């Protein structure tokens, strides 16, 4: 594939993990022309700002999360080059939404971009967790987004 120019991060609710990934990638890719957005496979929180706990933890790292929740749609597969799911359930749902086998090839797991030494194969849902859950998500996303950005910009 040609160098990706647009990335959509996807989780279940679009109020914790994917808006955090969007905010982190925006902060890393400030000087690039990459389009970045996020969406959820579920429709429970449409229109809402990210979960207050995630906004607080992100703000402690200098990130302001102001995305408004929206649901993934088949047209996202036309609008974005890379569609990145946070866990296996997100990926399975994205495969169902993908309008064609070609579109399905745009789906990737966030964990593909973790450091080899990282002992996680997904970004765990922090919704029913405490502060450590939110911190873990932010740690994993900072690592994964930086590696993804490096991969895109070096073309490797």
Q: Does 12 bind ligand 4NP (CB under 6 A)?
A: yes
The tokens for 86 are 């946070």
Q: Which stretch binds ligand 4NP (CB under 6 A): 15-23, 28-36, 75-83, 112-120?
A: 15-23
Buried b (16+ CB within 10 A) or exposed e, 68-77: ebbbbeeebb
Which residues are part of the catalytic machinery? 11, 17, 125
User: How many amino acids of this chain bind ligand 4NP (CB under 6 A)?
Assistant: 10
Binding region for ligand 4NP (CB under 6 A) out of 11-19, 22-30, 75-83, 113-121: 11-19
Q: Which of residues 123-142 bind ligand 4NP (CB under 6 A)?
A: 125, 127
Residues 6+ apart with CB under 8 A from 93: 41, 72, 85
């Amino acid at each position: 594939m040609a160098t990706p120019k647009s990335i959509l991060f996807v989780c279940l609710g679009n109020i914790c993990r994917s808006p955090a990934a969007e905010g982190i990638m925006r902060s890393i890719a400030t000087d690039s022309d990459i389009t970045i957005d996020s969406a959820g496979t579920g429709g429970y929180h449409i229109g809402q700002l990210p979960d207050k706990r995630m906004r607080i933890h992100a703000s402690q790292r200098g990130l302001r999360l102001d995305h408004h929740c929206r649901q993934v749609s088949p047209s996202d597969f036309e609008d974005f080059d890379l569609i990145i799911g946070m866990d296996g359930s997100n990926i399975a749902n994205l495969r169902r939404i993908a309008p064609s086998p070609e579109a399905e090839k745009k789906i990737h797991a966030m964990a593909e971009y973790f450091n080899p030494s990282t002992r996680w194969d997904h970004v765990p849902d922090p919704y029913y967790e405490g502060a450590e859950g939110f911190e873990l998500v932010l740690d994993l996303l900072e690592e994964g987004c930086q590696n993804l950005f490096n991969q895109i910009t070096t073309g490797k």
